[in-house]
Structure 1
């Protein structure tokens, strides 16, 4: 197996009495696109700043390409960085902004001109070189920031919430452009984001963080389909969650309702959180669901374009299910508020997590 390009070992960062990072360890492979994902204050930006040297860790080791960079000053580290705010020089032309890092390194003029032209062509802004940042759109300015970060040919690209200041349409377009660019260049990339859609669509692997620790590392598919903790289950995608207890190795009780589930090692009688995603609740072909069929009533129904988001109440129980109903099926079944229907909770889609009593 290829040696990791970036290794983080037991990294801790304290600000006075507050621990922002608590013994974080991870490996990132050469050419990999990794997203640090989590809510505000989870430590993702602090970890990025430790890797860059902008905010050196209190303890722990960071190695890049086999070199210990744990205490190196910023100027001796090999990375390019793009910030949410673009951080372009407003008084410089686009060409001069991209050339800035190369000029600071004392590169020959001919080499700088050739590299700037290459980078602007790479991000589709070759015809904007003489303009100033204020003359470009937000999306174009972010492309300039990316070109500037890539101009010195760094081994590592760091993206700190680079799309959050843009509107939704521009954000969606730039997601694809950044991912395509990263694949073409093969540059190892870390992106900080709180946007789960960005993380799921752009990354090779996602590092989900919470309260200064890593909750789970995995591919987008693994994170979404097999969340390791209730936090990951709730934060990535939408999830129905119910408090219950284990009845047997393959059954859980939620109030007076008993449901079959995949085998669990949690002991009988232990409190658990039982989760299922809205799109996994079955409304047709319930034969394979087994005993997990419930009679429900539509309490709320919201049209969101690709589907109806329905809230279902299960009479006589504590259940209150959120379900995604495909538009075609909802209309074919004439589902409206007050409509009664049978729904199934597939046992293999129920996720069972231990819960503190």
Structure 2
């Protein structure tokens, strides 16, 4: 019987990750629909994520299960749906062109400010917090924003650019705490509207604008969690934009999720349901694009902090679901749970990283000492 063969194959794979079907441990998998096995074997991560959204399986500890699957690298043993087509499309097409760049804004960041306000905490900062001396999400996010300002050596009167400014929290923090003025650009209409209200009364301008249109002087530049949407075909152009906006003695801080391997596309489930046209850069891809444009002054990896950040986001959103709009229905909730849990698993297994790079156009005279 085909079903029995698929079940045996899935059970053997899961055993390599110390996961049992029908087991009693929190990370064991509970199958509710027998079609699950064939769907995952045939579609890989896309089938795994979609079948969870459809209620075909559960795990008491979803992140615990997915962590074990990634740590055992089972994702490399099961095919990805449409992988050949996806690879050809990524190689032949600029998925992050100016025409396509707005899609992630419309489909993800414009989902609703109510969703993100419920999840992200006191500040709407949708990137990794810095937990070195913090024990709450709000403290970790404030520590991260302060770390960025200190790494850039911000001083009163400086003019600062935020590439991918989100809801404006980083520029607001820099203006209030460090006395700077600034410009933030985003491709999300919902974010821009919120950020303009947040920054009212501060010397901060928020623009609904693609980063490629920027061509004006700033004393410092930062970008927090936006580079994941740039795409490898556009890395050189991205660094050219930042370089032309900086003086010779300026500093640029790039805060991005990164992967251990060079790719040209993202996971198919993530691409379909969460971040269309996204991809995680590798260290090699970043340094290749920055070569000849910047001096790399500092490279800081605190990816383990993203696991803590995501756990806090999960706790917040789980406590808030019943108070949110009906449009966030049960299938959306399961999609969002899978997204957060899978993200935790990638950082916990050290398959993904959180990097902060500090770059200068010509090198800091006497050397650069980065705060931690």
Per the shorter chain, which TM-score range? Answer: under 0.3
Structure 1 length normalisation: TM-score? 0.25
Max Rg structure: 1
Structure 2 length normalisation: TM-score? 0.24
Structure with the higher strand share, 1 or 2: 1
Structure with the higher helix share, 1 or 2: 2
